[in-house]
C-alpha cells in the first residue's frame, strides 16, 4: 500500500531520535507498536465480521432460492394433476344468457299404499 523502503524508515528513525531523544524514544516506539497492533486487530475483526455477514447473506439467498424451487415443483405437480385426463372437473355452465328454470319434482298422482300392494295369485 505505502511504498516505504529501508532508507525512508532509517530517515524516520533518525528524525525521531533527534526530536524525542534517547530517553523517550523506546517508550514512544513501544506505544506506537501497541497502537499499530490494536489498529491491525480492529481491521482484521471488521474484515472477519464482513466476510461472515457476506457468507450468511449468501446462505440466506441460497435457502430462499431452494424454497422458491420447491414451491415451483409443487405448483408444477399440482398443475400436472389438474391437467391429467382423468381428473378434469365437470365443465361449469356458461355464465350469462338465459338459464333454464329449475322446477321442483311433481308430486305423485297415485298414493304410495297402492304401489306397495302385491297382486293376488
pLDDT band with cut points at 50, 70 and 90 for residue 60? confident
Max mean pLDDT range (62-66, 80-84, 109-113): 62-66
Give pLDDT, residue 119.
56
What gap in Å lies between CA 82 and CA 86, rounded to an integer? 9
Q: How many CA atoms lie within 13 A of 64 on its CB side?
A: 6
Helix, strand and coil in the chain, % to nearest 5? 70, 0, 30
Q: What percent of the chain has pLDDT over 90?
A: 32
Contact 87, 81 (CB under 8 A): yes
Q: pLDDT tens, 89-105?
A: 556 656 555 556 666 66
Q: pLDDT tens, 66-78?
A: 899 999 999 999 8
Give pLDDT, residue 62.
87
What is the mean predicted confidence (pLDDT) over 18-42?
93
Whether residue 110 has pLDDT greater than 80:
no
What gap in Å lies between CA 16 and CA 28, rounded to an integer? 9
Amino acid at each position: 500500500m505505502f511504498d516505504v523502503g529501508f532508507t525512508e524508515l532509517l530517515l524516520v528513525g533518525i528524525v525521531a531520535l533527534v526530536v524525542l531523544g534517547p530517553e523517550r524514544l523506546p517508550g514512544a516506539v513501544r506505544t506506537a507498536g501497541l497502537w499499530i497492533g490494536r489498529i491491525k486487530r480492529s481491521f482484521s475483526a471488521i474484515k472477519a465480521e464482513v466476510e461472515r455477514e457476506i457468507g450468511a447473506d449468501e446462505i440466506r439467498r441460497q435457502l430462499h432460492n431452494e424454497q422458491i424451487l420447491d414451491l415451483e415443483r409443487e405448483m408444477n405437480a399440482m398443475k400436472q394433476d389438474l391437467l391429467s385426463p382423468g381428473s378434469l372437473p365437470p365443465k361449469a355452465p356458461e355464465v350469462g344468457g338465459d338459464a333454464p328454470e329449475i322446477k321442483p319434482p311433481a308430486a305423485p298422482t297415485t298414493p304410495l299404499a297402492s304401489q306397495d300392494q302385491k297382486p293376488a295369485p
